[in-house]
Copies of this chain bind each other. A is one copy, B any other.
Amino acid sequence: MSPSETTSLSDDAAAGKRPAMSEPQRPEARSPRGFIDRRARDVASERAILSAVSGVYERWGFEPLETGAFEYADALGKFLPDADRPNEGVFALQDDDEQWMALRYDLTAPLARFAAQNWETLPKPFRRYAFGPVWRNEKPGPGRFREFVQCDADTVGSARPEADAEIIAMAVEGLEAAGLPTGAALIKINNRKLLNGLMTAAGVTAEAQKLAVLRAVDKLDRLGPDGVRLLLGEGRKDESGDFTKGAGLNAAAAERVLAFTAAGAGDRTATLAKLADVVGGSAEGDEGLAELAAIDAALTGLGVAADRATFDPSVVRGLEYYTGAVFEAELLLSTTDEKGQPMRFGSIGGGGRYDDLVARFTGDRTPATGFSFGVSRLAAALRAAGRAQAAARGPVVVIAFDQSRMADYFAVAREIRAAGVPAEVYLGSSGMKAQMKYADRRLSPAAVIVGEDELAAGTVTVKDLDLGRELAGKVADNAAWREQRPGQQTIPRGELTAALRRILDAG
């Protein structure tokens, strides 16, 4: 079901609002806006991604952790968008004891809570990965849901830049294990300290002005240098006429910031040298440069070259809690959209260093770094790149003719399953033709017919539905095709599983 269908369904439903819990005549069968149902193919794609990535993350020494769906709202605190109402941005409700709790908005806040709660007994540094749904109470739209699956890996308790490098290298390996072609994902790395150093050098000291600069740079992808120049200065009027107030930098400072964002290049060492020219000198800038140099060395030791992880000073990452390195995973796959226009997938994840999150609970600054990606988004990218799971195959269907012979059909299905081949007995009440249609609809490789003749002769009839579908796609004369009865064979019962294996291997 497409998101737009969901929306219209629930809009219709909203017209006839009903009080909750009363027993309505007949509730409409629909899901809340922004929540979707996923069937076999999508489920299989996401499971394949999570299984591959979990394998990689565990090989890098990260342990799995699962936390509950709810956290106390005060524990989510900083992660919530600014709002007066507790229901804004998150799904929140009041518990029996009147405390507010909310469904997790991401997987970082629960980790911070968990780490703070168990710090004494955890191995340090603590490395964990996690995946699962997160919930955002926002307006849904095409491709924008209120529930989606994220997959995160974080190291808590290491201040070393090598911990960042490791997360980056592992993310690259994870994305490739999930099915992305080598080089299709590029991790672009920056460091907040460079930006801070640059601003100090440019005379920007007020927090609000710093944030305005960050916000302006963050729009580089969308607005280009000219738009960002306006936002760094007095401000910018968009197409709709709305005016966004700028950061108020003078022209020289704005150019300096723009030069900084343009210092990225394929080669990490070359970028570092350019950056040293622009931000070198301020203590914080130098610290950021030293961290990036250590990240570069570790990435090199890990065999991750600049075609998979590069320095890009234009990367900001919206969230304000990052304190050092920040990274963004960009998909370089170019695919076409529904209208056949070339499109780039863009960012599928990112992360960075956040040294203040655990301190919210404990008061002790605890260095941490992590990477997160959207699982459904990666699945969509793999689909667009032609790397998706094949459509889910249905089981072999044993045709049911005669109520009194059901036990025989079950015994045949059991035999097929014992050979590792999915199989079922048709359990509806329709005739032969509808049963064949059912098997075809399920993308079953074959139907097995065990009629009276077959039972008497110790044989089975196997119909190769894959072949049937293939021919149906090619042969215009359907009647002639049906006449030939392609791929239907009657064989001794003992040869059944071997015959099915041949069909599956050919499919």
> A residues near B, CB below 8 A?
1, 10, 13-14, 17-24, 26-33, 35-40, 42-44, 47, 58-61, 63-75, 77-78, 80, 83-84, 86-87, 91-93, 95, 97-101, 103, 113-114, 116-118, 123-125, 127, 133, 135, 147, 155, 157-160, 162-163, 165-166, 294, 297-298, 300-303, 360-363, 392, 394-395, 397, 406-411, 414, 417, 420-425, 427-429, 438, 441-442
Contact = CB atoms under 8 A, between A and B. Distances in A.
Nearest to A73: B20
A422 B59 contact: yes
Contact of A24 (B17, B69, B74, B160): B74
Contact of A68 (B60, B74, B147, B410): B147
Contacts of A14: 97-99
Given A35-B67, A69-B103, A297-B407, 18 more contacts: A10-B99, A20-B99, A27-B74, A27-B77, A29-B113, A29-B361, A30-B72, A35-B68, A38-B67, A43-B65, A61-B422, A87-B93, A92-B93, A124-B428, A155-B427, A158-B428, A166-B425, A301-B410
A493 to B, nearest CB: 15
Please indicate which of the listed interface residues A83, A392, A417, A441 has the most CB atoms of chain B within 10 Å of its own CB. Answer: A417
Contact of A442 (B10, B123, B420): B123
Given A87-B93, A302-B414, A43 B66 contact: yes
A7 to B, nearest CB: 11
Contacts of A63: 39-40, 392, 394
A32 to B, nearest CB: 5
Contacts of A60: 395, 417, 422-424
Contacts of A123: 394, 438, 441-442
B410 A135 contact: no
A70 B32 contact: yes
23 contacts: A13-B72, A17-B98, A23-B78, A24-B77, A27-B72, A29-B75, A29-B117, A31-B113, A36-B68, A37-B118, A39-B65, A40-B65, A58-B395, A58-B422, A59-B422, A61-B395, A61-B442, A69-B135, A91-B93, A124-B438, A160-B406, A162-B410, A162-B427
Contacts of A421: 59
A69 B35 contact: yes
Contact of A427 (B99, B163, B425): B163
Contacts of A397: 61
Contacts of A43: 64-66
Chain copies in the assembled complex: 2
A-B complex: 10 closest residue pairs judged by Cβ atoms = A35-B68, A61-B424, A301-B407, A20-B100, A61-B395, A29-B116, A301-B410, A29-B117, A27-B74, A158-B427
Contacts of A31: 67-68, 70-72, 113, 117
Contacts of A100: 19-21
A27 B59 contact: no
A125 to B, nearest CB: 5
A497 to B, nearest CB: 13
Contacts of A73: 20-21
A59 B80 CA distance: 44
Please indicate which of the listed interface residues A17, A37, A362, A363 has the most CB atoms of chain B within 10 Å of its own CB. Answer: A37
A449 to B, nearest CB: 17
A168 to B, nearest CB: 12
A77 B39 contact: no
B18 A74 contact: yes
A225 B103 CA distance: 46
Nearest to A101: B32
A159 B39 CA distance: 24
A54 to B, nearest CB: 8
A360 B29 CA distance: 9
A29 B99 contact: no
Contacts of A10: 97, 99
A447 to B, nearest CB: 12
Contacts of A133: 69
A93 B95 contact: no
B28 A361 contact: yes
A64 B40 contact: yes
A238 to B, nearest CB: 26
A148 to B, nearest CB: 10
Nearest to A158: B427
